Chain A
Amino acid sequence: MKRILILSLKDLKLISRDKLGMFFMLAFPVLMALFFGSIMNFGPSGSNALKIAVCDRDRSPVSRRFVKNLQDNEVVDVDELPREDAVDSVRRGSHAGVIIIPPEFGMTAGVIWKDAPPIHLGLDPSRRAEAGMLEGMVMQAIGGLVMDRFQDPATLRPLIEDSRKEIQADDSVPLPTRVVLSTMMESLAGLIDSIEQVQSTADTAPGDMEQEAARGRGELRLASVTYIDVSRSPDPGSRAAILSKVRSGWDVSFPQAMVWAVMGCVAGFATLIVRENTLGTHTRLLVSPLTRSQLLAGKGVACFLCLMLVLTTMIMLAVGLGMRPRRWDLLVLSIASTGVCFVGLMLPLSLLGRTEQAVSGTVWGICTVMAMFGGGMVPVVFMPPFIQTLSNFDPVKWAVYSMEGAIWRGFTFTEMLLPCGILTAVGTVSLVIGSWMISRRQA
């Protein structure tokens, strides 16, 4: 075993000094993961709220309350901006609409017997369907202001008194109408008195939630709306269901990139085996007191260790970026079986040529095709059904599948047995065939 480790360490040293090889083993896959992960992460946002810009030019307590009412509404996403910026942001498409609250909005807002408060609404013309929704949100917020007025008798009472005086002094209004309006104002004053009484009674017995509800604070509801669960629930095997488990772009891009790193290692070590022959160092190893099995094991262990180092580095980087594997133990199982599979494949692949250039070119050619069909370029889930069927014969598919199983698909141990078993079996068979071919060639 010591000699196998000596051989492996030598090979690791050699591979680490091959700058181009290291690029394809680590730098290229990392760049690939970052590139595709970024594209997926910074795509369209998942938020469904209607983004609107608000410009409060009144800045009165009532207008602030109105803005707060909007902000409390989960259906809209409110950004407060100066007037010009707010309008521009809609024109640029950053917001769906703009609400401009003019000065003196607070004078009449929420006072139902006065003129409706002015309010300016601007909407992205391409999103007219959302105009009605936004208007509704505004009305809901104004409704909140009406309720606020009634819950604050101290400020409402002077308004009622002023209005009554105005009605009585206004000769333009017919007398019968003035009488009706004055009566209504007196009724409102009486209503205010009643609210004050209720509030003072409630204040002597605080903390009772039912009483709080009875006072109706913050409640102006024309209907009691409750929501029923109609969340989308696609077929568990469907693409939508599978993709719903993805939490970030890194979940998808890193397993793909890790497979490229694996293939980089395979190409590097296959080339290293040929280089031993072309440089003649293999002759020296054959004359040393090593068995041929030890020589092969040395290469295999070196390739496996290299794979583990590269994959561990990539996983650490992915975790640093925010990828959170669902099952660490299954991820270890996945990369170990991937390692066995590709170490096994490396041996027969190293025999596909007699020069470094021939082997390197051939191995990369084969690996690229395997990556195409196995989901190393485009996730298998996006491929047509017949290619998905073909990909079942591609070890890259099972490597990506097992890594995804541990990272985001939420596989159980039993579910992991299929991909990991296939990878191990392919690796073992390839190892046996490769060893036999190498000893046959040497004989």
Chain B
Amino acid sequence: MIKVQNICKTLGTTLAVNDVSFDVTAGEILGLLGPNGAGKTTTLNMLVGILQPDGGTVRINEGNPCDAGTRHYLGIAPQGLSLYEELTAQENLTFLGQLYGLSAGHLRDRVHEMLEFAALTDRRKHPVRTYSGGMKRRLNMAAALIHDPEVVVFDEPTVGVDPQSRNHIFDRIEELKKNGRTIVYTTHYMEEAQRLCDRVAVMDHGRILAMDTLGGLLTTYGGAAIVKGELEPDCQLAACPGVEADRSFRFSTNEPVREVVRLSESGVAFKALQINQPDLEAVFLSLTGRSLRDD
């Protein structure tokens, strides 16, 4: 569905994207994870044909996204709210649907569906400038989907959104996945990538540092799980690794649950127990030597 090969882009004097390649198959969600300035948005802009790569190729359904015909397959929810604030939600959606050449009846149905999708049916005749940040984000997504595209690109769709709207957005994206849409999703929130993405590409300084399924990345770069806690006074202290004088303990293992069961069976009694599984934060730390949210 999407084929990106060795794309590069220099913006001013900065090499924003450097030799990036990836494929996305139909119905898959690929997450681009990286801090601000990693090159995610520039990569997306080349993916949807807004920017021409200095080198390399992008193909959507075998077509060049710079061609108007190929862009029929594409929908984008840009990071900035790309909405006409003086128009109502209904007018925004109708205008975009008309641009994509939807017939009058189909357009009416799609506008109705997208207003439902964004939970804005009640506010459809209010100007967008009167909406909350979450409402605008949802409408921004709906605008990307008005023409029912096969490929949808979400560029940090939850920035500045309240938890309720964030959950609404996650639900809608999962719904899209169920309906077989191919999605590219950029974020610097690892929780979002963990929840939504089939595969994650970790980006930094314009390059993809690693790309795999979530499990694959955790296995390869996340390291072992950390088990820590405190033991009961009268238990078999010697059987537990990493015990301190105050009976607190900390050790790492690739199979934390099995190890805890084994210790319990050998007479170790836990007063407090905490298992820290490896996550994308750890993956990013492992790949770059710094935290994802250092900036």
Contact = CB atoms under 8 A, between A and B. Distances in A.
B49 A286 contact: yes
Contacts of A17: 86-87, 127
Interface stretch (B94-102, B181-189, B220-228): B94-102
Interface string B43-87: 000001110100000000000000011011011101111111111
A431 to B, nearest CB: 22
A289 B74 CA distance: 9
A18 interface: yes
Interface in A286-308: 286-291
Nearest to A14: B86
Nearest to A18: B86
B91 interface: yes
Given A3-B99, A6-B95, A287 B84 contact: no
B74 A287 contact: yes
B54 to A, nearest CB: 11
B49 A284 contact: no
A284 B91 contact: no
A280 B78 contact: yes
B95 A10 contact: yes
Nearest to B80: A280
B157 to A, nearest CB: 13
B173 interface: no
A288 B101 CA distance: 10
A423 B160 CA distance: 49
A64 interface: no
Contacts of B32: none
Interface of A is mostly: helix
Nearest to B52: A443
Contact of A286 (B50, B75, B95, B143): B50
A13 interface: yes
B98 A6 contact: yes
A95 B275 CA distance: 107
A287 B80 CA distance: 14
A287 B91 contact: no
Nearest to A3: B99
Contacts of B96: 284, 288
Nearest to B86: A17
A279 B49 contact: no
A13 B90 CA distance: 14
Contacts of B49: 286-287
A284 B86 contact: no
Interface string B155-176: 0000000000000000000000
Contacts of A6: 95, 98-99
Contacts of A281: 82-84
Given A10-B95, A17-B86, A284 B52 contact: no
Contacts of A443: 52
A283 B101 CA distance: 18
Given A10-B95, A17-B86, A443-B52, A287 B76 contact: yes
Interface of B: 48-50, 52, 68-69, 71-72, 74-76, 78-87, 91, 95-96, 98-101, 127, 143-144
Instruction: Give the 6 A-B residue pairs with the shortest CB-CB distance, closest first.
Output: A280-B80, A280-B82, A289-B68, A284-B82, A17-B86, A288-B99
Interface of A: 3, 6-7, 10, 13-14, 17-18, 279-291, 443
Given A279-B83, A280-B78, 8 more contacts: A3-B101, A13-B91, A14-B84, A279-B81, A283-B78, A288-B71, A288-B99, A289-B100
